[in-house]
Structures are given as C-alpha cells and as structure tokens.
Amino acid sequence: MRKILVIHGPNLQLLGERQPQVYGRQDLAAVNRLLRATARRRGVGVTIVQSNHEGEIVELIGRAKRAYQALVINPAAYTHTSVAIRDAIEASGIPAVEVHLSNIYAREPFRRHSLIAPVCRGQVSGFGVTSYRLGLEAAVELALSEAKPSRRARREG
C-alpha cells in the first residue's frame, strides 16, 4: 500500500481557537478525521504528525524517504522562513504538496512569499480544511503515478 506523510507545522494544534475568522472553526482532530477518511477512500495509508519544531520537521522529512511515497505539508509560519525545511524536502526527493488553510497571497506581505513552494510539485492555498483534502488527493495521484514498482511487481511484470 502506498503511504503518505502529512505534516502540520507550528501552532496548528491551536486550530479552531486561533483566529477562527482566518483559519476556520474546525480543530486539528477534525482535519485529521477528514484526511484519514480521504486516505481510506483512495486506498492509501496516511501518517499525520504535528510539530512546533523546525528541526523535528527536518528529521521527519529526512526519515520519510524510505517509508513514504508522497508528502503533504502545511509548514505554517516556517513557510516564510525555513531554508532548512525547503532543503530537506528537496534532498528527500519525495513528491510534496504544500497546503495552507488561508490564501497566503491575500494576506500580509510577509506571508505572500513561500520558501517551500519551489521544491513542491504544487500548492493548495485558501480553501480552509478543503485545502488539506485537495492536497491529499494530489499527493495520492503523485504517489500512485510515481512510486517505484515493488520487486514483486517487477518480477511478475
């Protein structure tokens, strides 16, 4: 089974209570339920992690190479600051999809630039919780179309 890693960056544990007019009223558990239901429907496995620590996110991405065929990441505030996360995604070679609840291009100038976007296959921004569902759907397509065939599939094919 193809596996997808979903990473929620800093402060996303506060979803539902943090600026609901910007980020919506659903909490992180509701987002994760939607992600798991989407993964089940598409027949892929999903691992979901939230971290407030840049180094931890870098390590998660570094370890993901062996176990996951695609990555969905909301880097949150690190979107705008983290060369380290950008480099980790690039070095991993895992196809990645960047997601944002809010439309970062319609907000303060410092949010309008993503250091992460150039090393991702694409970005979904501005659709609230739906950004995650669409981002995961895109990641499933990437995982299915690009994953290396298993040794058994190679033998039998």
Catalytic machinery residues: 23, 100
- Smallest gap from Cβ 1 to ligand DQA, in A, equals 28
Comparing CA positions, the residue from 20, 77, 91, 12 lying closest to residue 49 is: 12
- CA–CA gap between residue 14 and residue 37 (Å, rounded): 22
- Smallest distance from ligand DQA to CB 64, Å: 20
Give the relative orientation of helices 28-42 and 129-146 as an angle to the nearest 10 degrees: 30
Min separation Cβ 21 and ligand DQA, Å: 12
Query: Which residues contact ligand DQA (rule: CB under 6 A)?
Result: 11, 74, 76-77, 79, 100-102, 104, 111
Strand order in the sheet with 70-74: 45-50, 3-8, 70-74, 96-100, 122-125
Q: Which is nearer to ligand DQA, 11 or 32 (CB)?
A: 11
